[in-house]
């Protein structure tokens, strides 16, 4: 024998009802069953609303009642063939006539007691189960309608009546023995010894089903609902939440305490007592296994689920008067109990100097008052401080019996929170080891849930969640590099990378599951118009742990958001130089923010693309070296341009080629004007801990005066042609001396110069070719001979690879 229960959400309309009827038919073919039904979706609420209207003398209750009646009559007509409808229609009509009388009474005396309320709402189940029993007959099933008021006996605590189990069990058994057929039972309703109607409280239909399962010693109990079982976390907050295959009764209790609303285990007690397995099944995906709740569940996972409670306040009670004084906690909890404040979590360290208590925020003011009252004299005497209230907190909890046998659960939990920069304000774990709870700020809750979910449930891989602004040359190359390398990273490095947000200057797109990178997802008109604020808000609202903003634009506007991004605990990786080469204050403040909050900000490609320049310099400084002089060819495009020029190609053509090859900035005037190199030497100087401002850099521009204000890049390149001779003359002059033209930067004594030089064959820059960069660091340690870094310093591949390497490096710091 198996008991099935269908809630209101499974029977809201004709289509859903038909689906339920076929599930019942199928199940009944496989063995003996009995079925408990709730009222049709929304009916209980409507019955109550109607009563409220009547009680407030609002005649509109009549129209509402009529609508309810029509809804039920209509369902009868749709479910039962015409020739058999009349008896069922009569049953429904008689019930609604009774209801009409009842409401009229409420309307007249303007009173709606809990006794009347139970009677009124009982009509919902009584009508739905009756109609469904008749409809099932049409499917060839031999059903027997059972109004549970006949068999479930309770006291007269209306609204939440207590069951008299000995009598109830006997009555159920007797009814079952005398009536052979498929029992269709009204959920939720019961009656007193005197025959007054009562109801069984929250999730009462589940309770009815559990009572029947216990009384009939059922082999199992199935709760059919509109979700796929109990999930590992709230799927509204954790997109990757999955169904938990098995839970023990204890685990189900713990999870439900924290608001997993699928089952309310108190209602399952009768079944649990008899160790009857309970299945939570999805009416709309009946083939899915759902969740099994039983005495001892199996699992390979360390925990079963992650849960949370919002709107919590922490009270901190502390002072020297607490230490080694017997009875303090009894007084604290006594005072709270007297004023009906429920304590959710308690934590006291062995120093006994403070007691920390989590309660509902709604109780915080009252709790502070009563505790301060209780300790009035201690506070006056300075032995105890006033109670400190921390509002806007949440409790996050990992639940599972397996923690008992395996060390490391709490380590994993706190590591995941810590790596995501989530501060833990209080901790509690009972010796049952069924639950570890941490109190965190409410605004960190979603991120915390996701961090824990990743840490405990997803593969053991770390996942970086990327939001990429700038899907241009570098951005696209990066996407395809990640795509090519993903499998290897997942396998060998246990790192997974997902891109959830993409934007160029016109459009943006999001994907909670992560874009399919093999399809080169470039945002277009089918997506959303780009709006930077909306992009960042969406990124924050997705609230992934290990989120990274990758900025592959050259945009000042995007760079200006970095502080806000870091503040929202999202790491940044970027080749965009605008943030680090702006004001010195801005540069310092970003570094400080990233350092203090431990949110990474990586920008290796700001200088010399993928060449390890920034990291090397940072290592030198961190290990105590001091930079004396930096000399560099820092522009791949400029090196290419002057190298190619020497082959006799006109200047304007080589500039166009450099752009074509992806060496230049989005606007090549940024390279030719020396601005790009100026930015780079400024960044290097600042990385070398020098207080450099833009004014400290003198720049020689290669942009002819009349080309400077051209409106477009095309117009600029066109106009540049008229200056080819000028550049040819510069080249000839250098050639005459057997020298080469190099666009270089030098930083020494707090001043930098950027410009074109002619260098002889002795100079290290003489041998550079193509898009090469070369950087010479003369430092206290590298004094006699400088440290030299050389190689291609511009281009899509070497830049995207550098950005990619920064992203991978981030993986080392995340969980
Ligand atoms: N090309 C290279 O060799 C190197 C480039 N970089 C840097 O990489 C960055 C990207 O360069 P490329 O990919 O070559 O440029 P690109 O012009 O090909 O791509 C830039 C992308 O950013 C988008 N964009 C611009 N402003 C935006 C905004 N406000 N909001 C959203 N999207 C915006 C554009 O629509 C475009 O998709 C630049 O900062 C550049 O300095 C750094 C090292 C080397
Ligand atoms: N335009 C730059 C590219 C990298 O910053 C260059 O030419 O070096
Ligand atoms: Na670099």
612 touches ligand 1 (CB under 6 Å): no
Count the residues in the chain.
815
Which ligand 1 atom is nearest residue 802's CA?
43
Residue 165 banded pLDDT, cuts 50, 70, 90 = very high
Residue 718 banded pLDDT, cuts 50, 70, 90 = very high
pLDDT 10s digits, 538-551? 999 998 889 999 99
Which residue from 183, 301, 320 is spatially nearest to 247, judged by alpha carbons? Answer: 301
Is residue 355 within 8 Å of residue 384, measured between CB atoms? Answer: no
Q: Work out the average pLDDT over 680-687.
A: 98
Residues with CB under 6 A from ligand 2: 609, 635-637, 663-665, 671, 676, 793-794
pLDDT 10s digits, 111-130? 999 999 999 999 999 999 99
Which alpha helices (DSSP H) does 1-143 contain, by range? 14-30, 43-55, 61-79, 82-109, 114-137
**For the range 730-734, what are the long-range contacts, defined as Cβ-Cβ under 8 Å and sequence gap of 24 or more?**
730/756, 731/642, 731/645, 731/646, 733/758, 734/758
Q: Among residues of the chain, what percentage have pLDDT more than 90?
A: 84
Higher pLDDT, 326 or 504: 504
Query: What is the predicted pLDDT for the residue at 446?
Result: 93
Query: What is the predicted pLDDT for the residue at 704?
Result: 95
Catalytic, 5? Answer no
Which residue from 535, 533, 222, 256 is spatially nearest to 397, judged by alpha carbons? Answer: 256
Q: Work out the average pLDDT over 53-69.
A: 97
For residue 757, give every residue at least 6 positions away whose Cβ sits within 8 Å of its Cβ, in sequence order, or none.
741, 742, 743, 744
In CATH, which superfamily holds the domain spanning 614-794?
A: Dihydrodipicolinate Reductase; domain 2 (3.30.360.10)
Distance 682 CA to ligand 3 centre (A): 14
What does the alpha-carbon distance between residue 535 and residue 540 come to, in Å, rounded to a whole number?
9
Distance 504 CA to ligand 1 centre (A): 9
806 touches ligand 1 (CB under 6 Å): no
Q: Work out the average pLDDT over 739-758.
A: 97
Residue 815 banded pLDDT, cuts 50, 70, 90 = low
Fold that domain 305-456 belongs to in CATH: VC0802-like (3.30.2130)
Statement: residue 797 has pLDDT above 80: yes
Distance 109 CA to ligand 3 centre (A): 83
Statement: residue 265 has pLDDT above 80: no
Distance 768 CA to ligand 2 centre (A): 15
pTM of the model: 0.65
Q: Taking the CB of residue 180, how many other CB atoms lie within 10 A of it?
A: 9
Statement: residue 262 has pLDDT above 80: no
Ligand 1 site-directed mutation target among 508, 553, 661, 664, most atoms within 8 Å of CB: 553
For residue 44, give every residue at least 6 positions away whose Cβ sits within 8 Å of its Cβ, in sequence order, or none.
8, 38, 121, 124, 188
Statement: residue 460 has pLDDT above 70: no
ipTM at complex level: 0.98
Answer whether 2-39+121-226 and 305-456 agree in fold. Answer: no
Query: What is the predicted pLDDT for the residue at 431?
Result: 64
pLDDT 10s digits, 351-380? 667 899 999 999 999 999 999 999 999 999
Which residue from 62, 2, 68, 76 is spatially nearest to 36, judged by alpha carbons? Answer: 2
- Tokens 């304007």 found at: 652
Query: What is the predicted pLDDT for the residue at 340?
Result: 93
Q: Taking the CB of residue 658, how many other CB atoms lie within 10 A of it?
A: 24
CATH for the 2-39+121-226 domain, from 2.30.110.10, 3.10.580.10, 3.40.1160.10, 3.40.50.2000: 3.40.1160.10
Q: Which residue has the least CA distance to atom 3 on ligand 2?
A: 794
Closest ligand to C-alpha of residue 639 is 2
Statement: residue 266 has pLDDT above 80: no
Residue 315 banded pLDDT, cuts 50, 70, 90 = very high
Give Cα 12 distance to the centre of its chain: 31
Distance 554 CA to ligand 3 centre (A): 16
Q: Which residue has the least CA distance to atom 4 on ligand 2?
A: 794
Closest ligand to C-alpha of residue 805 is 3
Is residue 5 within 8 Å of residue 211, measured between CB atoms? Answer: no
Query: What is the predicted pLDDT for the residue at 257?
Result: 64
Structure-block tokens of residue 806: 């920064």
pLDDT 10s digits, 475-529? 999 999 999 999 999 888 889 999 999 999 999 999 998 999 999 999 999 999 9
Structure-block tokens of residue 555: 């945009």
Distance 676 CA to ligand 2 centre (A): 7
Q: Work out the average pLDDT over 183-197.
A: 98
Statement: residue 256 has pLDDT above 80: no
- Tokens 């639950």 found at: 435
Q: Among residues of the chain, what percentage have pLDDT more than 70?
A: 98
Is residue 575 within 8 Å of residue 552, measured between CB atoms? Answer: yes
Query: For the chain, what is the mean pLDDT?
Result: 94
Q: Work out the average pLDDT over 794-809.
A: 98
Pairing of strands 343-348, 354-360: antiparallel
Beta strands in 677-796 (DSSP E): 697-699, 740-748, 751-759, 772-779, 787-792
**Minimum mean pLDDT range among 9-13, 126-130, 454-458, 643-647:** 454-458
Q: Taking the CB of residue 294, how many other CB atoms lie within 10 A of it?
A: 18
pLDDT 10s digits, 627-655? 999 999 999 999 999 999 999 999 999 99
794 touches ligand 1 (CB under 6 Å): yes
What are the domain boundaries of the chain? 2-39+121-226, 305-456, 462-608+805-811, 614-794
DSSP 3-state of 192:
coil
Is residue 52 within 8 Å of residue 112, measured between CB atoms? Answer: yes
795 touches ligand 1 (CB under 6 Å): yes
Q: Work out the average pLDDT over 448-467.
A: 87
Query: What is the predicted pLDDT for the residue at 749?
Result: 96
472 touches ligand 1 (CB under 6 Å): yes
Structure-block tokens of residue 296: 């001892």
Residue 264 banded pLDDT, cuts 50, 70, 90 = confident
811 touches ligand 1 (CB under 6 Å): no
Burial class of residue 414 in the structure, from the number of CB atoms within 10 Å of its CB (0-12 exposed, 13-18 middle, 19+ buried): middle
Statement: residue 259 has pLDDT above 60: no
552 touches ligand 1 (CB under 6 Å): yes
Residue 258 banded pLDDT, cuts 50, 70, 90 = low
**Minimum mean pLDDT range among 340-349, 465-474, 525-534:** 340-349
Specify the CATH number of the domain 462-608+805-811: 3.40.50.720
- Per the residue annotation, which of 462, 569, 680, 740 is the catalytic one? 680
């Amino acid at each position: 024998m198996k008991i099935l229960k269908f809630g209101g959400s499974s029977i809201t309309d004709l289509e859903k009802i038909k689906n339920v009827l076929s599930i019942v038919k199928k199940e009944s073919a496989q063995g003996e069953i009995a079925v408990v039904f709730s009222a049709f979706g929304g009916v209980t609420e409507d019955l109550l609303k109607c009563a409220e209207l009547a009680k407030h003398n609002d005649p509109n209750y009549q129209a509402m009642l009529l609508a309810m009646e029509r809804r039920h009559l209509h369902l009868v007509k749709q479910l039962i063939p015409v020739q058999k409808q009349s008896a069922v229609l009569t049953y429904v009509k008689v019930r609604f006539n009774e209801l009409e009388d009842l409401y009229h009474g409420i309307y007249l005396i303007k009173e709606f007691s809990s006794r009347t309320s139970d009677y009124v709402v009982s009509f919902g189940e009584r009508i739905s189960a009756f109609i469904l029993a008749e409809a099932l007959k049409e499917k060839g099933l031999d059903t027997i309608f059972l109004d549970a008021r006949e068999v479930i006996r309770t006291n007269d605590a209306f609204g939440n009546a207590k069951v008299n189990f000995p009598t109830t069990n006997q009555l159920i058994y007797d009814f079952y023995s005398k009536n052979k057929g498929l029992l269709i039972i009204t959920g939720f309703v019961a009656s007193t010894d005197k025959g007054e109607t009562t109801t069984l409280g929250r999730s009462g239909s589940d309770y009815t089903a559990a009572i029947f399962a216990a009384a009939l010693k059922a082999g199992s109990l199935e709760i059919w609902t509109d979700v796929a079982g109990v999930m590992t976390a709230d799927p509204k907050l954790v997109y990757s939440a999955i169904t938990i295959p098995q839970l023990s009764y204890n685990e189900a209790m713990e999870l439900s305490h924290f608001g997993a609303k699928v089952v309310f285990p108190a209602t399952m007690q009768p079944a649990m007592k008899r160790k009857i397995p309970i299945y939570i099944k999805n009416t709309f995906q009946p083939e899915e296994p759902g969740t099994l709740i039983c005495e001892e569940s199996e699992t390979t996972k360390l925990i079963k689920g992650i849960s949370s409670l919002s709107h919590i306040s922490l009270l901190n009670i502390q002072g020297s008067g607490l230490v080694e004084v017997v009875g303090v906690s009894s007084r604290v909890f006594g005072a709270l109990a007297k004023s009906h404040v429920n304590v959710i979590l308690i934590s006291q360290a062995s120093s006994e100097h403070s007691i920390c208590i989590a309660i509902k925020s709604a109780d915080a003011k009252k709790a502070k008052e009563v505790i301060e009252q209780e300790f009035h004299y201690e506070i006056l005497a300075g032995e105890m401080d006033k109670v400190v209230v921390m509002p806007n907190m949440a409790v996050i909890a990992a639940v599972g019996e397996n923690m008992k046998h395996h060390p490391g659960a709490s380590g994993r939990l706190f590591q995941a929170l810590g790596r995501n920069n989530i501060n833990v304000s209080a901790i509690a774990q009972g010796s049952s080891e069924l639950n570890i709870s941490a109190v965190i700020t409410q605004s960190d809750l979603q991120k915390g849930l996701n961090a824990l979910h990743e840490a405990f449930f997803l593969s053991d891989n770390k996942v970086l969640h990327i939001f990429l602004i700038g899907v241009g040359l570098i951005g696209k190359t990066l996407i395809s590099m990640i795509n090519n390398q993903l499998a290897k990273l997942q396998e060998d490095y246990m790192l997974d990378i997902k891109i959830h947000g993409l934007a160029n200057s016109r459009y943006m797109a999001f994907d909670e599951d992560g874009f399919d990178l093999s399809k080169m997802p470039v945002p277009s008109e089918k997506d959303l118009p780009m709006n930077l604020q909306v992009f960042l808000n969406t990124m924050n609202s997705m609230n992934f742990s290990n989120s990274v903003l990758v900025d592959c634009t050259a945009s000042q506007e995007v760079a200006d958001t970095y502080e806000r991004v870091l503040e929202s605990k999202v790491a940044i990786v970027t080749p965009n130089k605008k943030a680090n080469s702006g004001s010195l204050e801005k540069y310092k403040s970003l570094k400080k923010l990233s350092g203090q909050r431990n949110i990474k900000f990586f920008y290796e490609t700001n200088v010399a693309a993928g060449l390890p320049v920034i990291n090397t310099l940072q290592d030198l400084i961190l290990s105590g070296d001091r930079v004396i002089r930096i000399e560099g060819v820092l522009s791949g495009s400029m090196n290419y341009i002057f190298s190619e020029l020497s082959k006799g190609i006109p200047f304007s053509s080589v500039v166009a080629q450099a752009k074509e090859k992806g060496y230049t900035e989005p606007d090549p005037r940024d390279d030719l004007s020396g601005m790009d190199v100026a930015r780079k030497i400024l960044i290097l100087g600042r990385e070398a801990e020098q207080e450099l401002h833009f004014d400290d850099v003198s720049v020689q521009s290669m942009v002819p005066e009349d080309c400077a204000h051209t409106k477009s890049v095309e117009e600029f390149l066109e106009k540049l042609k008229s200056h080819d001779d000028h550049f040819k003359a510069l080249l000839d002059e250098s050639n005459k001396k057997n020298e080469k033209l190099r666009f270089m930067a030098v930083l020494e004594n707090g001043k930098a110069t950027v410009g074109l030089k002619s260098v002889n064959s002795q100079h290290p820059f003489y041998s550079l070719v193509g898009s090469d960069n070369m950087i010479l660091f003369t430092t206290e340690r590298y004094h006699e001979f400088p440290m030299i870094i050389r190689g291609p310093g511009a281009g899509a591949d070497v830049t995207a690879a550098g950005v990619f390497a920064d992203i991978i490096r981030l993986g080392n710091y995340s969980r």
